[in-house]
Structure 1
Amino acid sequence: MFMGVLSVAYHCRPVKSEASIRSAEIWGRLFGLMRLYWWVWPIAFLIIIAEAAGAPLEAIFFNAAILSLFESEKIGVEAMYPMLDQAVLCLVLVGLGSGVAVLCQNALFTYLQECLCMILRQMAFASTIRMDMAFFDAPENQTGSILVSLERQHRVVIVIVVRARASIHGCRD
Structure 2
Amino acid sequence: MSKKWVGIILGTVLLLTVAGVYMALESLEPDHKSTQEGQGEGAAQAAEVKSKKPTVTGKVDGNPFEEDVKTPISEELMRQYIHAMSHQKVRAGEKWSFFKITNERITFLLQQLDDEEYKNDEEYREILTGWQKGDFSQAVSDHNTVWRLMGGTIGKAKGLLSAKQEKDYLEKQTRETR
TM-score (norm 1): 0.24
Relative contact order, higher structure (CA 8 A, sep 6+): 2
Structure 1 or 2: more helix by fraction: 1
Structure exhibiting the larger radius of gyration computed from Cα positions: 1
TM-score (norm 2): 0.23
